[in-house]
Amino acid sequence: MDTTLQDPLVGQLLDGRYRVDARIAVGGMATVYRAVDIRLDRVLALKVMHPDLAADASFVERFIREAKSVARLSHPNVVGVYDQGAQGAYVYLAMEYVPGCNLRDVLRERGALQPRAALDILEPVLAALGAAHRAGFVHRDMKPENVLIGDDGRVKVADFGLVRAVGSVTNTTGSVLGTVSYLAPEQIESGTAGTQADVYACGVVLYEMLTGAKPHTGDSPAQVLYQHLHEDVPAPSAAVPGLAAELDGLVAGATARTPEQRPADAVALLALAREARAALYDAQLDAVPPQSRAAAHDGADDRTSVIPRAVRSATHATAEPGAGQPGVVEHTSRLELPADAPEGFQPAGHGHSRSRRPSRGMLAAVVAALLLLGVGTGVWYINSGQFTRVPSVLGKTETEARKRLTDAGLEVEPSKKDYSEVFKRGTVMAADPEQGKRIRHNGSVTLTISRGPEIVKVPELEGLSLSEARSALRKVGLAPGVVTREFDEEAAQGTVTGSDPVTGTGARPDSAVALVVSKGAPIDAPGVVGETVEDATAALEEAGLKVKVAPQQVHSPEEAGTVAAQSPAEGGQVAAGDTITLTVSKGPRMIEVPDVTGDNVESATSELKKAGFEVKVERSFPFLGNEIESQSVAGGEQAPEGSTITIKTKGL
């Protein structure tokens, strides 16, 4: 039976644009569908947030803000975000559809990879993360499930910044374990996740690719967290003998327990990975590892339920825990993995985890970390008939919501209003208690009604300095945009003279405002060609300009040591404080003078000009001769390029 038929979204047109064709996978945060954008006739992956999360208005706002930020990250190894929106209680992202598989599938099927294959996957992952790090993003959830491998062999990283937008993870132990396997120590201890946390996770992923198993395993999240805090990641060669020392060093550097001892970001780690590759022989890169257990589940793997396809039995799909990735597995990966790798190999030290009761000290150390991840003990109440649940009201009009609540026997408190980028004006954006929460019969619910997108006005900026204008824009929630500098006879140099949109115009928060800044009154650049550098510098500085002397000198008709050229040229408009670049002359180039005696005037003139000289003709009386009798500089001698050669004709 095809379970996708039971999904109410399958077959629907979401937001009047996205036709939902099939459910791909279900994660802890969202369900992923294959859909078609009917406007662009494009297949894409549609990630729809679970209703219980969509009930949290603050989370939805943050989720969409982060999605907008990630959408600006354009890189060939990053899964693209096309669009975001909401229809009623359905909050969604439209993302790039990637036919292929993910790295978890590869590890589950093949176990340990050849070093060359591992580096072939690691390097594009680091390239994607490096672009994100330099743009100010941190992934915070790097793991094999988020590494997609397309049918065309391209490697892409999914879910930048989205999974960790959730305030808490799913409360099942297995789901937490899959994530904590890649957490850096500082994430566990303080919840901080900088670029070096992504570096740590990549080091763990590299270890797993080289050995086929995770470096830290256990029967509970507590055991895995404790190992991250107190034990170094072992050398891959300890599990797979024969691996090169350079690979051990790469893993050790990336997974140092102290962040300061790791590479600063993915760009730095990528450079080290390329150095390691360059240091390895082909035999070391292509070494076929003994087949290890595929993915070493040992109870610590987090898998999301997968919906089987009814038509193509050879296809399958996976979704990473917590979000459901936009990648769809429809064919086997085209990675060049060893076809003859033996099955069933289990690396030393990973055959089983020794069961032992954690000490009180260890439990105390990890309880805070588990609370940080949102793992708590569920509290169950006995339903004695005194409780009901708050019905779904998100996206409904206030009238519809009030009716639903009163029909459920609940009171409705006076409504509050707030701005929302997600919910239409006049619809319910939040309820307190949240929809689905247990509440006593006759209890009261407070609704928050959307005012629609918040609009702010562009403040008065004219006359402010550029830094003051930028500060004023940020203060009201707008973003400083492109700066254009123009001459202005009246406005002081460096002050703002205009903006786009103009002052008083309404704009949405975070919108960019372009600024026009005065360059002051224009100045005509003085002409200094032919002057000494000292005299030229003095004249320009007196005019309020700065001077830069070009490092290279050039041949020119000007005397050696004088100014051969200036930029901007004489008469060009410049602003006070602008820089004029001076090029110093090496003097004219000396070139050989052609011998033109005996030639006629026309051919002699042509030859001399072609050689780089000016020509003056003197005719002897009577002026009927046309043959050159003499020239001012004899043929074969040298003269300055551009100088004048005088030629004289014979008389009759």
246 plus 188 within the same structural domain: yes
Cα angle 523, 557, 529 (rounded to 5 degrees) comes to: 15
> Of the candidates 378, 407, 430, which is a domain's last residue?
378
State the 10-residue block means of pLDDT for the chain, 652 residues long: 64 91 81 92 90 74 74 86 84 89 91 95 95 87 92 87 38 45 88 89 97 90 88 93 94 94 94 94 86 43 33 31 32 36 32 39 46 38 58 87 90 86 82 82 88 84 95 88 91 94 86 92 92 94 93 90 93 90 92 93 94 90 80 93 91 66
Which parts of 335-455 are beta strand (E)? Answer: 387-389, 411-418, 428-432, 438-440, 444-450
DSSP 182: T
372 plus 500 within the same structural domain: no
> Of the candidates 332, 361, 378, which is a domain's last residue?
378
339 plus 442 within the same structural domain: no
Q: Which residues pair with 25 in a beta bridge?
A: 32, 306
Residues 568-601 pLDDT 10s? 999 888 988 999 999 999 988 899 999 999 999 9
Q: Per the domain annotation, does 189 fall within a domain? A: yes
**Among 105, 141, 248, 578, which one carries the catalytic annotation?**
141
Q: Per the domain annotation, does 344 fall within a domain? A: yes
Give the H or E element holding residue 224.
helix 221-230
225 plus 276 within the same structural domain: yes
270 plus 129 within the same structural domain: yes
203 closest CA partner among 251, 248, 269, 247: 251
Residues 369-398 pLDDT 10s? 444 444 333 333 333 346 788 888 888 899
Q: What is the pLDDT of residue 161?
A: 53
CATH number (domain holding residue 400): 3.30.10.20
Q: What is the pLDDT of residue 467?
A: 94
Residues 465-511 pLDDT 10s? 999 999 999 888 888 999 999 999 899 999 999 999 999 998 877 78
Sign of the Cα pseudo-torsion (285, 339, 213, 100, in order): positive
Q: What is the pLDDT of residue 318?
A: 33
460 plus 446 within the same structural domain: no
Q: What is the pLDDT of residue 212?
A: 93
Q: What is the pLDDT of residue 386?
A: 64
Q: Per the domain annotation, does 165 fall within a domain? A: no
Query: How far is 108 from 550, CA to CA, in rounded Å?
Result: 62
Name the phi and psi angles at 191, rounded to 5. Answer: 80, 0
237 plus 339 within the same structural domain: yes
Q: Per the domain annotation, does 600 fall within a domain? A: yes
Q: Per the domain annotation, does 308 fall within a domain? A: no
212 plus 358 within the same structural domain: yes
The alpha-helical segments, DSSP class H, found in 398-503 are 398-407, 466-475
Q: Per the domain annotation, does 179 fall within a domain? A: yes
186 plus 149 within the same structural domain: yes
Query: How far is 104 from 87, CA to CA, in rounded Å?
Result: 33
Query: How far is 29 from 168, CA to CA, in rounded Å?
Result: 10
CA 283 → CA 114, 248, 365, 372, 566, distances in Å? 10, 17, 44, 45, 60
> Of the candidates 329, 358, 378, which is a domain's last residue?
378
CATH number (domain holding residue 145): 1.10.510.10
107 plus 223 within the same structural domain: yes
Q: What is the pLDDT of residue 57?
A: 74
Domain around 512: 456-518
Q: Per the domain annotation, does 417 fall within a domain? A: yes
Q: How many domains does the chain have?
A: 6
Q: What is the pLDDT of residue 291?
A: 60
Q: Per the domain annotation, does 53 fall within a domain? A: yes
CATH number (domain holding residue 59): 3.30.200.20
**Catalytic-residue membership of 141:** yes
332 plus 415 within the same structural domain: no
Record the pTM: 0.49
212 plus 82 within the same structural domain: no
Q: What is the pLDDT of residue 250?
A: 96
